[in-house]
Amino acid sequence: MSDIDPLADLGVRPTSAGPTLRVFSSSAERLELVVDDAPRPRVVEMTRDEHSVWSAVDPALTPGRRYWLRVDGDDRQALLDPWARGLGRTGRGEHRATVVDESFDWGGVEKPRTPLDRVVVYEAHVRGLTRLAPFVPDELRGTYAGLAADTTIAYLKELGVTAVQLLPVHQHVDEQRLVAQGIENYWGYNTLSFFAPHAAYASRDAQLAGASAVVREFKGMVRLLHEAGIEVWLDVVYNHTAEEGEDGGPVTSLRGLDSSAYYRHDAEGRPVDVTGCGNSLDTSHPAAHRLVMDSLRYWATEMQIDGFRFDLAATLGRDAGHVFDPEHPLLHEIVNDPALAGVKMVAEPWDVGAGGWQTGAFPDGWIEWNDRFRNRARDFWLTDVATARSHGTPPTGVGSLASKLSGSSNVFAHRRGPLAGLNFVTAHDGFTLLDLVSHDAKHNLSNGEQNRDGTDDNRSFNHGVEGHSDNPWISDARRRSMRNLLGTLFTSSGVPMLTAGDERGRTQRGNNNGYCTDSELTWVDWATEPWQQGLHDDVATLARIRRENPALRPVRFGLDGACTLSANEISWADAAGEDMRPDEWDDPHVRTVQYVARSTPEHEGPNTVLVLVHGAETTAAVALASLEGVARWEPLWTSDDSAELVALEPGAEVLVSGPTVAVWRAAS
């Protein structure tokens, strides 16, 4: 029995016989390669093997050459090679697969391979990050090259970012509905090709030079970010494609080649959509499984990508019966494939199908977006405070937030540790940080869906006025709430993710679903008022505090009564400095807790940090916690920008106005 994978080497590959195209299709009766050649396209009959892999050899399949596929002699459909590494456009704007020159001088630059506990993720849109950036040359704004400009990289480094997570950069197109409305898909979650980088994000010169130049610009961006020690992660959309709908929908590649193999269908052959996007990739089929794995290997090796965030990742783990299976072969292969060793794999652990919410259920090796952290942080600092204003008492105490501060062990299995969770307060999807504290409701009328789109579960608080306010009391309260949320994010166990522009108080004027707006509304605004510079400085300070204090970034969960290396030993104290009593955790009148984390050294020196959380709009007298070996607490940061923290001995009383986060480090 042969060990050779019958689906290996799909796409255009060099062989001893010459450039060879290999394509899988079990449903086609006839498959033809059409090569763009003067004076007219040339048609080459493809041959089928016993594994339904079709192949053709053509010496013209060289860099820059466009080609397409024709099934069963139908010349009305020019299909894309699913494994094409570049795409070009015809004079009529149609996409065509293009052979690319993959040669590139990496100059000896290697991947940073940042340890996961030291990672600070910055979620950004290639175009939106630098489109308005005054420090980037005009011709490079909104491009791969603009993201890699010296000034952009210097900004990221100064902020403390270690990984840039880019919204989809696979070649994507606009949905038919958006085209009919005259708007576009800005975010890019509508993939046309899983291998080709989106050409519109390249500089004009690269676009004019063709697909190979676009690939080179992308690689150049990665190389420069790696030289600066910054990893590049990609948001990838393997759950569905741009062939949306079934009847009358686009037929560009997979559907025309073999819809039953690549997409989910029920026993009667009807499409099964668990993504809400018009189709769902069937990763229980070997061809779709192979497509995902080959794409990941290509981006991780040829393009040197450091991490992937999988959109609607629960879809990838659904079996042939469309049920999520944490033991799904694809989920395991992604984190165990030798070619992907060391690459960070992050799941958005849900989709919209039955049983789609799967936070905490992914196998070992996966990192998961921790929506539980997001929800509880927002509740504690925003909706709880709003309820206290209107009813006198918040609905909950500090217990649920405490579990998130210490790594969400109630969500992630002990063996996986706190780094299984990627913590976030905001993301591309939803309110920006400023809008989160400025709006009680979404304002999405500009999206053309009568404000029906976007979530209604925002857990936000406008602090008394909907939208912009010149009232200094409201502005101060909002800014403090933003600092509280950021302080919680950076002092919690897990991997923190910041959304681009939140460090500057970016607003989308209450739009919580900016997927179809490519304008100043969604681009990062680089104008800086004093309060925005202050917020930026707070983020940089918090990132530095996290970097310098291993007690805030444990690798493992500890066990009571045992020393676990690279975990942290945790103790909790109330406002009186006494151990928290069981009845206090869920008491809504108890909104103050001291979180004391002591590292258990393995690779770094000993370290102890105290995080004080006071979640009420009152002033509280707090006796700082006492701990053996701690002579004094040295102040590191507070969200109360009017306070002047000083070093204090354990047990010393400090007045804390609220709501507030404050951080101290132990000194002996």
From the candidates 117, 175, 348, 518, which is the catalytic residue? Answer: 348
| φ/ψ (deg, to 5) at 649 | -80, 150
365: left (phi over 0), alpha (psi -120 to 50) or beta: left
In the residue annotation, 348 being an active-site residue is answered as: yes
For residue 90, give every residue at least 6 positions away whose Cβ sits within 8 Å of its Cβ, in sequence order, or none.
66, 96
In the residue annotation, 50 being an active-site residue is answered as: no
From the candidates 235, 258, 294, 311, which is the catalytic residue? Answer: 311
Q: 327-357 burial by CB neighbour count: b if 16+ within 10 A, else e?
A: ebebbbebbeeeebeebbbbbbbbbebeebe
Measure the CA–CA gap between 298 and 234, rounded to whole angstroms. Answer: 13
Any idea how long the chain is?
Answer: 668
Residue 83 per-residue DSSP state:
T
Residue 354 per-residue DSSP state:
T
Measure the CA–CA gap between 664 and 594, rounded to whole angstroms. Answer: 11
Q: Dump the DSSP string for 273-291.
A: -SSSSS--B-TTSHHHHHH
Direct distance between the N- and C-terminal alpha carbons of the chain, in angstroms, rounded to an integer = 67
Q: 555-571 burial by CB neighbour count: b if 16+ within 10 A, else e?
A: bbbbeeeeebebbbbbb
Measure the CA–CA gap between 665 and 668, rounded to whole angstroms. Answer: 10
Q: How far is CA 515 from CA 447, 497, 508, in A?
A: 9, 19, 11
| φ/ψ (deg, to 5) at 42 | -110, 135
**Active site amino acids:** 311, 348
